[in-house]
Amino acid sequence: MSLILSCHEKQNKKKVENLNSNWEKLEINTISEKILISKFSDSAEYEQNPNNITFKITPENGQTKQEKIVKKKIYFTKSEKDSLAKYIYMSVTEPKFTNVLATDYVGNVMLKYDTGNTKLTCEYNSVGDWSVVSDVTRKIYELISKKAEVSKN
């Protein structure tokens, strides 16, 4: 009878905990919202482009009008930012694969985890309601939707 012991798993958990707290910026992009969170700032940047239009509209009369884009600051506590960092890190390192495919490209979210010298990204496209892809995406949605309007699709 032989017995094999390994410390490999413990080392990985410690490494993950260090990476999880080593973030500088987090980014959440949906079809019409963009949220940028800095670890070193008390506020986050929120931008909402309701029709997802980044160009000027020229009506038949030739006058140009700019689509209204809402920009504001939103505030997260340190605990909320740490939770978002944890959830986004989990999403980008252990993405949930889904067979859901929505028509018309409905249900998009991009999650970014930035340590300053490394960026990890996870994108879900055409998944319908992105907040139900996994328990982690649900937690991300619930946390950010308390602070600002965020589309699920």
Asked if residue 106 is part of any domain, the answer here is yes
Answer whether residue 31 is part of any domain. Answer: yes
Task: Indicate if the pLDDT at residue 131 is higher than 90.
Answer: no
- Domain containing residue 59: 13-145
Q: What is the pLDDT of residues 14-35, one digit of tens each?
A: 555 555 678 999 999 988 899 9
153 within domain boundaries:
no
Q: What is the pLDDT of residue 36?
A: 97
To 10 degrees, the CA torsion angle through 102, 106, 110, 111?
A: -80
Residue 89 has pLDDT above 60, yes or no: yes
Percent of the chain topping pLDDT 90: 43
Domain count, the chain: 1
Residue from 59, 75, 76 nearest 67 by CA: 59
Residue 114 amino acid letter: D
User: What pTM was estimated for this model as a whole?
Assistant: 0.76
Q: Is 60 exceeded by the pLDDT of residue 102?
A: no
* Per-residue confidence band for 136, with pLDDT thresholds at 50, 70 and 90: very high
The model's confidence at residue 7, banded by pLDDT at 50, 70 and 90, is low
pLDDT digits (tens, 9 = 90+) for 117-126: 999 998 887 6
On whether residue 30 sits in a domain, the answer given is yes
The answer to whether residue 103 sits within a structural domain is: yes
What per-residue confidence (pLDDT) applies to 32? 86
Q: Is residue 7 part of a domain?
A: no
What's phi and psi for 128, nearest 5 deg? 75, -115
- Whether pLDDT at 65 is above 70: no
Q: 92, 103, 82, 98: which is closest to 130 by C-alpha?
A: 98
Banded model confidence at residue 64, pLDDT cuts 50, 70, 90: low
Which among 11, 38, 14 has a CA at the least distance from the CA of 26? 38
**pLDDT computed for residue 128 by the predictor:** 72
Task: For the chain, give the mean pLDDT.
Answer: 80
